[in-house]
Chains A and B, each alone.
Chain A
Amino acid sequence: MKTSLALAPMYAAMMGVPVLMVLYLLALLFVPAAAHYVFVPLIIIGLLAFGISGMVEVYVKGHAKSPALSMFNHPKKEKGMNISELPGNPAELIVTRLNAGAKEADRQIYALHISRFTSVLDMLCAVKEKGDQTLSFRYSCRMGICGSCAMVINGKPALACETNAMKNLRNGAINVQPMQAHPILKDLVCDLDEFFAKHLSVTPRLYRRDKKGQYEAQEEYPQKQSQIQEFLPYSYCIMCGLCMDACPVVNVNPDFIGPQPLSQAYRYYKDSRDQLNVKRLNEIDTLEGLWGCEYAGACSKVCPKGVDPASAIQLMKKDTMKSNITNEKKG
């Protein structure tokens, strides 16, 4: 994991140079003379930094622990045709791995061939099957619905099965790391027990006062399709944990319950069949609950299923304040 820090100067330089150029152009408008002296050297330094950090990158690659592997990842064969012989595009998979007992993670680089159909999960499976059987990662449905293969791909939390390899190559490589907000068990596998406990802490189920009647289910609860649409967008959560990983607050304050559970509280809060109503808000009307959210919005950005926890949380904050005011008036 530490080795990825070596890339920081390169990224900083990559970001910095264009910013400097814009500032330079702006400065040219107002103080043309000073602009040359201040910005031209800065830009040169920036470009140099980019070059040097690029060399650091090469250096890190050269010292990665395992030898590079070569393999073909090919889709299933049509009868009489060997697709592995079709030309594939070379690509590298750079995996941050943590082996049990080791204090520091290390990076391993695997060389493969990919096609336009290859997902990052396909690359990982190819490594496991034809290169390095010791690599551990989670996966199951490979169609973006089971929520197993959440990881950090090229620095962004994403599902491996939904990430196309060809479209996401950076310098010919895909970089994968485990999620950072959950404890790591091995390689790309995180321990999600605490995350599941947080999910269960918000009473994430339809609450009915008549529990027996709910279980016996003699006839449907009345509900209009328009009422379903109220909670539907929040019911797509696949419990992958990516929003928790992206949330800056969860990353610094493990007590913050986080975007996933809060979005699920909202899903049931907005269901017209639910009878817990505003009590749901009272449960999370705390600093570790609703008020822990600082509205960075990263959760909504990374959700692979389009759930918008950030909006759910703000809407619940609003309703909480409303109900608190009403209660004060009553009191």
Chain B
Amino acid sequence: MTEVLDFDIVVLGSGIAGMSAAIHASKSQNEKVRIAVISKLHAMRSHSIAAEGGISGVLYPGQNDDSYDLHAFDTIKGSDYLADQDAVSILVKNAPKEIRFFEHLGVPWIREENEEIQFRAFGGMSVKRTAFAADKTGFFMLRALYDYLTGIENIKIFHEYYITHLLLSEKRFAGLFGINLATGERVLFKAKACIIATGGYARVFGFTTTSYSSTGDGIAMAYRAGVPLKDMEFIQFHPTALVPSGILITEASRGEGAYLKNVDGERFMKDYAPAKMELAPRDIVSRAIITEINKGKGLIQEGSGMKYVNLDLRHLGKDKINFKLPMIREITIKNLGLDPIEEPIPVRPAAHFTMGGIHTDINGSVMSADSSIPIAGLWAAGECGCVSIHGSNRLGSNSLSQCAVWGRITGIEAARHASQHKGQHPVSPNKLVGNAEKDLDRLIAMDGDESPYSIRERMQNAMEEHMYVFRTAKGMRQALKEILELKRLSKRIGIEDKGKIFNTNMRDAFEISNLLELSEVSIRSAINRKESRGAHAVLEYKERDDREWLKHTIATYSKKGPKLSYIPVKITNWKPKPREY
């Protein structure tokens, strides 16, 4: 039996984008719309909570020679000119409002003597424009959102509901289908509007800064429902992930002045980005680290055998580290017994952020496959959506502003849509539930010999070997071969847990099938893009090729694998130029 729940708006995902969307949807209609926030975790534990360094935004234009235009230019240059420039303009104009909004919810932004909000330097940003709350910015923002949201009428949180299917009917949103993990009961959420805010899919890699839960569920279910995905080949590798766990060591440590050093103690960034040094954009710093390691200039960690370079914070001094980077110190002490006041931190690049995602217009409206018309009643916000403002490489601290800005935009748009469609749902999703129920029945009954977990491990190994910081045409083809083999094997998996209550085995199997789907799209998109741009660095192609490839990849589901097509990049004021730092 499937329980049916009825709302005006369902928000899928409870990170900064999702909770912002719910709040602004409600507030824009005087708390009159009925909203469900659905999370596969406890809502306050979403991966946004792990964001460390800060949120970008020109809070005081004119001060410090900063302007919206400069923020936009930095973002576009950082994107290697693949960002849509009209969308970037929306980001930079709205980000400051969001920083103030979060201040009003209680976030303890670090302040200057004159009580203005303080900024720190970040990679690829010309000036200091990243507001921060020590190195727990995402934590403070998400907790403030949760506490504020729970004080608003007519928003109901569904903790630990795992949604498996997005139901569409004739280019309209119809409903969401999934499981209440605590009871194992199936649920259909009916609503007039839906905002997908489920985050990225960096867990296609094993060595990643992201939470175990960053499995791209919303992107995968949208893709299966026929929604096109955009720019899926672009995966960001954060230069400084702790070895061997992959835990994020924030870019803010370099923003505050930390050095990257090779085995000889040299600040090797002078050879790669002499002007910006450690504060070059992430794609460039990651390539520099791997190049150093490949040259034999890395170090090897005893016990894990992993190769790394050093991130040296010692010269920052105890007080600065304790005040501005306390979590970094806590993490290295608890994980490695290493105090960054006394020793450098072993780091190497790890999968961190997925620039690609659900194809949306600049308002976050999800586009339909065969036309430029949006799907009615469906939005995507945050990392799962590709607006696109990050193009082929995101600048640090632009993601929190993206989540807040498009959380607000999509929330307001969805609420307007819901209030304009009073009364009955235009589409009855009940008929659509049958197939989703069958899918789940089939999955829980699976009794094969293959372990979903070993499939995941093989997928992550293939991605790490062939889709990492440097790619080759041959390697990517090999990765694709492995993924297709794993997709075949995944039809023969066994689910050992047949119980109903908190069955994480079944959830994991579903997540793994989502990751497999997305890794295939990512690899195929990457194989087809015959250039090197931003985070997509292919050894065979030395250069960016604007004549052929200044365009977005669009991938649409078919049974034989994704169909690829291309749409132009929106260029407004900033013509592509060579990218030097």
A117 engages B453 (CB within 8 Å): no
A271 engages B106 (CB within 8 Å): yes
Partner of B105, one of A79, A203, A205, A238: A205
- Given A140-B213, A205-B148: A268 touches B106 (CB 8 Å cut-off): yes
CA distance A238 to B331 in the complex (A): 15
Which of A6-14, A125-133, A245-253 contacts its partner?
A125-133
Judged by a CB distance under 8 angstroms, whether A221 is at the interface is yes
Residue of A nearest to B209 (CB): A143
A86 engages B305 (CB within 8 Å): yes
B207 engages A273 (CB within 8 Å): no
- Given A225-B110, A271-B106: A185 touches B501 (CB 8 Å cut-off): yes
- Given A83-B305, A143-B248: A206 touches B106 (CB 8 Å cut-off): yes
Which of B44-52, B122-130, B190-198, B374-382 contacts its partner?
B44-52
Judged by a CB distance under 8 angstroms, whether B111 is at the interface is yes
Judged by a CB distance under 8 angstroms, whether B3 is at the interface is no
Chain A residues with a Cβ closer than 8 Å to the other chain, count:
71
Chain A residues near B245: list those with CB within 8 A.
Answer: 75, 117, 142-143
Which of A39-47, A144-152, A286-294, A311-319 contacts its partner?
A144-152
Residue of A nearest to B102 (CB): A217
Which of B106, B151, B212 lies at the interface centre, i.e. has the most chain A CB atoms within 10 A of its CB? B106
Chain B residues near A86: list those with CB within 8 A.
Answer: 303, 305
B305 engages A81 (CB within 8 Å): yes
Residues of chain A whose beta carbon lies under 8 Å from any beta carbon of chain B: 75-79, 81, 83, 86, 99-100, 115-117, 119, 128-130, 132-134, 136-148, 162, 164, 185-187, 189, 191-193, 196, 200, 203-206, 208, 214-215, 217-225, 228, 231-232, 235-239, 268, 271, 273
Chain B residues near A235: list those with CB within 8 A.
Answer: 108, 140, 143
Task: Count how many pairs of residues, one from A and one from B, have CB atoms less than 8 Å apart in the complex.
Answer: 183
- Within the complex, the shortest CB–CB distance from A85 to chain B, in Å, comes to 10
- Selected A-B contacts with CB under 8 Å, 26 pairs: A76-B460, A78-B304, A78-B307, A116-B303, A117-B244, A119-B335, A133-B451, A133-B497, A133-B505, A143-B248, A143-B331, A145-B136, A146-B46, A148-B45, A186-B499, A187-B502, A200-B150, A205-B144, A205-B151, A208-B104, A215-B27, A215-B101, A217-B100, A228-B111, A235-B143, A239-B143
Chain A residues near B159: list those with CB within 8 A.
Answer: 193, 196
Residue of A nearest to B112 (CB): A225
Chain A residues near B327: list those with CB within 8 A.
Answer: 145
- Within the complex, the shortest CB–CB distance from B505 to chain A, in Å, comes to 5
Task: Give B11-33 as 1s and 0s: 1 = Cβ < 8 Å from A's Cβ atoms.
Answer: 00000000000000001000000
- Given A140-B41, A140-B45: A100 touches B106 (CB 8 Å cut-off): no
CA distance A129 to B457 in the complex (A): 9
Q: Give residues 464-518 of B contacting A (CB, 8 Å).
A: 464-465, 495-497, 499-505, 508
B331 engages A100 (CB within 8 Å): no
CA distance A19 to B475 in the complex (A): 66
- Within the complex, the shortest CB–CB distance from B179 to chain A, in Å, comes to 14
Chain A residues near B504: list those with CB within 8 A.
Answer: 128, 136-137
CA distance A219 to B334 in the complex (A): 39
Partner of B461, one of A77, A134, A147: A77
Which of A79, A83, A143 lies at the interface centre, i.e. has the most chain B CB atoms within 10 A of its CB? A143
Residue of A nearest to B105 (CB): A206
Judged by a CB distance under 8 angstroms, whether B247 is at the interface is yes
CA distance A262 to B44 in the complex (A): 18
Partner of A141, one of B49, B103, B207: B49
Partner of A134, one of B47, B116, B496: B496
A128 engages B453 (CB within 8 Å): yes
CA distance A319 to B147 in the complex (A): 24
Judged by a CB distance under 8 angstroms, whether B275 is at the interface is no
B505 engages A144 (CB within 8 Å): no
A100 engages B501 (CB within 8 Å): yes
A117 engages B304 (CB within 8 Å): yes
B206 engages A76 (CB within 8 Å): yes
Residue of B nearest to A268 (CB): B106
Partner of B496, one of A133, A187, A193, A203: A133
Judged by a CB distance under 8 angstroms, whether B117 is at the interface is yes
CA distance A137 to B303 in the complex (A): 28
A145 engages B139 (CB within 8 Å): yes
Judged by a CB distance under 8 angstroms, whether B306 is at the interface is yes
CA distance A162 to B45 in the complex (A): 16
User: Given contacts A130-B453, A139-B212, A224-B115, could you give 18 more A-B pairs where the C-beta distance is less than 8 Å?
Assistant: A76-B246, A100-B501, A117-B304, A129-B453, A130-B451, A133-B505, A134-B505, A143-B245, A146-B45, A146-B211, A164-B335, A187-B502, A204-B150, A206-B106, A214-B104, A217-B97, A220-B116, A239-B44
A185 engages B502 (CB within 8 Å): yes
- Given A148-B45, A185-B501: A220 touches B206 (CB 8 Å cut-off): no
CA distance A170 to B453 in the complex (A): 29
- Given A133-B495, A146-B41, A273-B106: A220 touches B115 (CB 8 Å cut-off): yes
B47 engages A141 (CB within 8 Å): yes
Which of B45, B113, B247, B305 lies at the interface centre, i.e. has the most chain A CB atoms within 10 A of its CB? B45
Chain B residues near A164: list those with CB within 8 A.
Answer: 334-335
B108 engages A232 (CB within 8 Å): yes
B50 engages A145 (CB within 8 Å): yes
B140 engages A132 (CB within 8 Å): no
B211 engages A136 (CB within 8 Å): no
- Given A133-B451, A141-B47: A217 touches B499 (CB 8 Å cut-off): no
Chain A residues near B100: list those with CB within 8 A.
Answer: 217-220
Task: Give B304-321 as 1s and 0s: 1 = Cβ < 8 Å from A's Cβ atoms.
Answer: 111100000000000000
A76 engages B464 (CB within 8 Å): yes
Judged by a CB distance under 8 angstroms, whether B42 is at the interface is yes
Chain B residues near A191: list those with CB within 8 A.
Answer: 182
Partner of B49, one of A115, A145, A192, A215: A145
Chain A residues near B502: list those with CB within 8 A.
Answer: 136, 185-187, 189
Judged by a CB distance under 8 angstroms, whether B153 is at the interface is no
Chain A residues near B303: list those with CB within 8 A.
Answer: 86, 115-117
CA distance A238 to B159 in the complex (A): 16
Residue of A nearest to B151 (CB): A205
Judged by a CB distance under 8 angstroms, whether B330 is at the interface is yes
Chain B residues near A99: list those with CB within 8 A.
Answer: 499
A223 engages B115 (CB within 8 Å): yes
Chain A residues near B116: list those with CB within 8 A.
Answer: 220
Residue of A nearest to B500 (CB): A100
- Within the complex, the shortest CB–CB distance from A119 to chain B, in Å, comes to 8
- Within the complex, the shortest CB–CB distance from A163 to chain B, in Å, comes to 9
Chain B residues near A239: list those with CB within 8 A.
Answer: 42, 44, 143
Chain B residues near A117: list those with CB within 8 A.
Answer: 244-245, 303-304, 335-336
Residue of B nearest to A189 (CB): B502
- Given A133-B496, A185-B182: A146 touches B453 (CB 8 Å cut-off): no
A146 engages B49 (CB within 8 Å): yes
- Within the complex, the shortest CB–CB distance from A201 to chain B, in Å, comes to 11
Chain B residues near A206: list those with CB within 8 A.
Answer: 104-106, 144, 148
Task: Give B411-435 as 1s and 0s: 1 = Cβ < 8 Å from A's Cβ atoms.
Answer: 0000000000000000000000000
Residue of A nearest to B106 (CB): A206
B110 engages A141 (CB within 8 Å): no
Which of A83, A141, A215 lies at the interface centre, i.e. has the most chain B CB atoms within 10 A of its CB? A141
Partner of A217, one of B101, B147, B213, B460: B101
Chain A residues near B147: list those with CB within 8 A.
Answer: 204-205
Residue of B nearest to A219 (CB): B100
Partner of A140, one of B47, B97, B305, B508: B47
A142 engages B307 (CB within 8 Å): no
A228 engages B334 (CB within 8 Å): no
CA distance A78 to B496 in the complex (A): 31
- Within the complex, the shortest CB–CB distance from A91 to chain B, in Å, comes to 15
- Within the complex, the shortest CB–CB distance from B538 to chain A, in Å, comes to 18
B111 engages A141 (CB within 8 Å): no
- Within the complex, the shortest CB–CB distance from A137 to chain B, in Å, comes to 8
